[in-house]
A and B are shown apart, each in its own frame.
Chain A
């Protein structure tokens, strides 16, 4: 049915300009170049350092398998730290997320201070948190657990309040009309809508915490990280590679399990 005359004569809209894309690309390249100059890094240095990298890799191989016996307790401690830290963080995240969500309270200003507090928490890196807690509580897994708790609180509360703001408001209205109070409204119309998401966020945070817990030992906050520091310091690279492989295996295992669980939940 196409009429050639019509399609040729009709004024077609001009396609949108591609200038914006080119401009973005140029801007990005300029930013990268400026960053490289600011940090005194150059491609040349990378090439020069390449043989050293190969040398290090060669020394790491073969991994010292027998070292497994030495690090197993520390690895278990890492898992325990992640488990406890995630749980504490998740429990604390529930009231925090409820107070941060702007759609659950009629008082308009309530969520502002709590969001500010949450942003403050999320600004501090977990390694720095661990260093602070080590300074307060001394060496060992306790400061590590506290650091992970605070980190988990920040992450889970952030993800949860964003999900809270996207829930269906209808059931809230229904519960209000039955004469329920604020807590009853939350329990009967909000929590059923959010609990699968919350569990999923918690599992995801646990995955991250396993990796984070593995390096907290660098600042003396317990777990496997301590052995990284020791073996690297003593140039025992075949032991370091053993720890890396072990950590990798563990992280993969936990990622797979947690991913399967999250698929089931949602």
Chain B
């Protein structure tokens, strides 16, 4: 337990974070952000606004060029080796492309979430303790896919594969979930299933959730707090009630609704 820390300590804290890519593109600019335990935060913005960069900076799949990121008081920016892997273990990630090993079984994909908890030799031999296997099945039950445990991952539909990825994060026993456009390649019905799963997990297990979305309506329907990004800068940060179409039209010059994007494409 972390009772020695002050109760109001932020789960994730970004201080003056900037990221410049080698080709001089500015990914993030002076981001200050504090996210508390149990929040459900949606990050919105157009493509290229820096949503993915922000998420990948938090678990350091991307390095930042300036500033500091703290996970429950520990700097992930300065962590190396084992310390970095221990911090990553507490941060689950869900990807737009699911990132399952398609040739492996669903169960093995979910158990892959456990590797950070065990030594190398044990995981190479696949000798997971019974509690881990129970945990994996529990996670699959939570996303309603327990009967698919021994199916190959590529036999599942897109929505099912994304729910396997959610189960992997659950088996990881992460305290934070980062979801990078988790529903961008799914139809409306499966979108609802995946988003509902994420919401239930957030509410029941109190897992802090940060989700990148390009659809403001979806963000408003599920999140408690919305962060708007534009060109790597935070241009909006507030509760859902304040994230009105008027405010967003003011900021972006147009709304970020799915229909308006379709109108532009039409």
Q: Contact residues of A with B, CB < 8 Å?
A: 168, 170-171, 173-181, 183-184, 187-189, 192-193, 196
**Band of interface residues on B:** 20 to 34
Q: Residue B61 at the A interface, CB < 8 A?
A: yes
Q: B227-241: contact bitstring with A at CB < 8 Å (1 yes, 0 no)?
A: 000000000000000
A174/B85 contact (C-beta < 8 A), A184-B120, A192-B103, A192-B104 known: no
Most buried by B among A180, A192, A193: A180
Evaluate contact between A188 and B88: CB separation under 8 angstroms: no
A181/B120 contact (C-beta < 8 A), A170-B95, A170-B98 known: yes
Q: Residue B124 at the A interface, CB < 8 A?
A: yes
Evaluate contact between A177 and B115: CB separation under 8 angstroms: no
Q: Contact residues of B with A, CB < 8 Å?
A: 59, 61, 85-93, 95, 97-104, 108, 112-113, 115-116, 120, 123-124, 165, 168, 172, 178
Evaluate contact between A177 and B59: CB separation under 8 angstroms: yes
Residues of A contacting B172 in the complex (Cβ-Cβ under 8 angstroms): 178-179
Residues of A contacting B59 in the complex (Cβ-Cβ under 8 angstroms): 177
Residue contacts A-B, CB under 8 angstroms, 18 given: A171-B101, A173-B61, A174-B93, A174-B99, A177-B59, A178-B89, A178-B115, A178-B168, A179-B87, A179-B116, A181-B120, A183-B124, A187-B123, A187-B124, A188-B123, A192-B103, A193-B101, A196-B103
Evaluate contact between A178 and B116: CB separation under 8 angstroms: yes
CA distance A173 to B61 in the complex (A): 8
Chain A proximity of B44: nearest CB distance (Å): 22
Closest to B88 in A: A179
Closest to A196 in B: B103
Interface SS, A side:
helix
Evaluate contact between B99 and A173: CB separation under 8 angstroms: yes
Evaluate contact between A188 and B112: CB separation under 8 angstroms: yes
CA distance A177 to B85 in the complex (A): 8
The 8 Å CB contact of A177, one of B91, B123, B124, is B91
CA distance A188 to B105 in the complex (A): 11
Residues of A contacting B98 in the complex (Cβ-Cβ under 8 angstroms): 170
Residues of B contacting A189 in the complex (Cβ-Cβ under 8 angstroms): 101, 112
CA distance A189 to B104 in the complex (A): 9
Evaluate contact between A171 and B99: CB separation under 8 angstroms: yes
Chain B proximity of A183: nearest CB distance (Å): 5
Chain B proximity of A196: nearest CB distance (Å): 7
Evaluate contact between A174 and B116: CB separation under 8 angstroms: no
Residues of B contacting A171 in the complex (Cβ-Cβ under 8 angstroms): 99-101
CA distance A28 to B235 in the complex (A): 64
The 4 closest A-B CB pairs, nearest first, are A179-B116, A179-B89, A170-B99, A177-B93
Chain B proximity of A167: nearest CB distance (Å): 10
CA distance A179 to B101 in the complex (A): 17
Closest to A175 in B: B112
Evaluate contact between A176 and B88: CB separation under 8 angstroms: yes
Closest to B86 in A: A179
Closest to B126 in A: A187
Residues of A contacting B102 in the complex (Cβ-Cβ under 8 angstroms): 168, 193
The 8 Å CB contact of A178, one of B95, B100, B104, B112, is B112
Evaluate contact between B113 and A178: CB separation under 8 angstroms: yes
CA distance A188 to B110 in the complex (A): 11
Chain A proximity of B105: nearest CB distance (Å): 10
CA distance A189 to B113 in the complex (A): 11
Closest to A169 in B: B99
CA distance A183 to B121 in the complex (A): 9
